[in-house]
Amino acid sequence: MWPREEKRLAVSGISTLEARETRDFCETVLRHEGERIFRECRDSEKMESSESRQEEKSKERESTPEEKRYDQNDPTLTIVDEEDQLDFELDNFTSPRALMSCGHVVTPTSLTNWCRRQLDQGQRFFACGMPDCDVQWSFEEVRRMALLTPEEIRYFEMKISENAKDCFDIKSCPGCQSTVMRSDLNDLCTQCTVCTNDRKEPFFFCWQCLREWRGPSPRTDRCDNKDCFNKSLETLKNCPDMTFLKVKGVTGCPSIRACPSCGFLLGHDQTGCKNLVCPRCGEEFCFVCLKKKKICCETRGIYDLCSGGVAPRQTSIPALKWEDWYR
């Protein structure tokens, strides 16, 4: 303690020892009070977080206010007496259980909640939620097994369209900037119905160069506008061949391929097996023969040359169709 403080305490009649004990007591009280306030704030945050999670959970389930039940006498279902494997929230749904195509057990409500959650997170397809299961269910299977209501079907279709719009061959009309989807994927000459209606005469534009159509139609390569060419096709045509480090017997394979499902250009880094998963549409295919992985692997391993050999360089860009997406 400083001399000046000792003098002040002496004048007031308080000893140095008493002052120190008083100071220690005050520090202890303040420390305990601070710890109490901290605990109260922490508990309050936990309560708010718990309430927030409950609100989110309640919102997620607004689409399925009542539990749906399977009919045990439905001959199209495989009813089993097993645990609902998609009941991640432990809701203990009372519906009979049924098998999905992948062999996992669901109830219609747990399946609805799981698939809806995937759509709300931006997914474009329905994947089984069980570990080590890479099966993707078709929308038709989900619609049937989840017993989707008409309202749920409309919501699912809307979300699928929103999440998958970048996978499809959709462009803006150069005349009015409205969104157009080609009805004939083998013809670059595309009609805009909005411009046709506004101009009172047919309006066609080139799907490739996005200018008003010139020349005869139908055409698959180009229109008669100057510098009309497909950059993706040029890439596929001129890219060098690659060499796999682990796949045996493959020669003359182009280093860039268009996804056989949606047309997205992909390159292989030469390592690993010959299969790739398209980041845009989710299709898994063989980079060598361009067949789906499941078909290719029926005859050869993932590190072996395909039974049909190396697929030639692609001369057209595939486009995903809506009917293929909903199959």
DSSP of 72-127: TT-TTS-EESS--TT-TT-----SPEEE-TTS-EE-HHHHHHHHHHHHHTT-SSEE
Residue 132 lies in a domain: yes
Q: For residue range 266-277, what is the model confidence (pLDDT) as tens digits?
A: 999 888 899 998
Per-residue model confidence as pLDDT tens for the chain (327 residues): 444 444 333 333 444 444 455 455 555 544 555 556 556 655 655 555 555 555 554 444 444 457 899 999 999 999 999 999 988 878 889 999 999 999 999 999 999 999 998 888 877 788 887 877 878 899 999 999 999 999 999 999 888 877 766 666 678 899 998 888 887 877 899 999 999 999 999 999 999 899 999 999 898 888 999 889 888 888 899 999 999 999 999 999 999 999 998 888 899 988 889 999 887 778 899 999 999 999 999 999 999 999 999 999 998 888 766 555 544
Q: Is 81 exposed, middle or buried (0-12, 13-18, 19+ CB in 10 A)?
A: exposed
Pair (156, 175) in one structural domain: no
Residue 215 lies in a domain: yes
Residue 179 lies in a domain: yes
Residue 186 lies in a domain: yes
Q: How many CA atoms lie within 13 A of 249 on its CB side?
A: 12
Pair (234, 282) in one structural domain: yes
Which residue bears the tokens 């080590």?
132
Pair (151, 237) in one structural domain: no
Pair (319, 240) in one structural domain: yes
CA-CA distance, 229 to 211, in Å (whole number)?
A: 12
Residue 307 lies in a domain: yes
Pair (273, 324) in one structural domain: yes
Residue 24 lies in a domain: yes
Pair (109, 194) in one structural domain: no
Of 145, 166, 187, which marks where a domain is finished? 166
The angle at the Cα of 231, spanning 230 to 232, to the nearest 5 degrees, equals 90
- 255 DSSP 8-state letter: S
CA-CA distance, 127 to 113, in Å (whole number)?
A: 13
CA-CA distance, 175 to 202, in Å (whole number)?
A: 12
Q: At what angle do helices 16-60 and 3-12 cross, to 10 degrees?
A: 100
Pair (87, 154) in one structural domain: yes
Domain that holds residue 85: 79-166
Q: Is 94 exposed, middle or buried (0-12, 13-18, 19+ CB in 10 A)?
A: exposed
Pair (94, 123) in one structural domain: yes
CA-CA distance, 101 to 297, in Å (whole number)?
A: 20
CATH of the domain at 98: 3.30.40
Pair (291, 245) in one structural domain: yes
Residue 53 lies in a domain: no
Q: What are phi and psi of 50, to 5 degrees?
A: -65, -45
CA-CA distance, 207 to 66, in Å (whole number)?
A: 47
- 61 DSSP 8-state letter: G
Pair (260, 287) in one structural domain: yes
Residue 238 lies in a domain: yes
Of 151, 166, 181, which marks where a domain is finished? 166
Contacts by 7-13, CB closer than 8 A, 24 or more apart: none
The angle at the Cα of 148, spanning 145 to 152, to the nearest 5 degrees, equals 145
Q: For residue range 279-324, what is the model confidence (pLDDT) as tens digits?
A: 777 889 999 999 999 999 999 999 999 999 999 999 888 876 655 5
Which residue bears the tokens 């699928």?
160
Pair (139, 87) in one structural domain: yes
Total of domains in the chain: 4
Cβ-count burial 105-129 (b if 16+ within 10 Å, e if not): bbbbbbbbbbbbebbeeebbbbbbb
CA-CA distance, 221 to 229, in Å (whole number)?
A: 8
Pair (236, 327) in one structural domain: yes
Q: What is the reported pLDDT for 118?
A: 87
pTM of the model: 0.48
Based on its alpha-carbon atoms, the radius of gyration of the chain, rounded to whole angstroms, reads 33
- Antiparallel, parallel or unpaired: β 204-206 and 241-242: unpaired
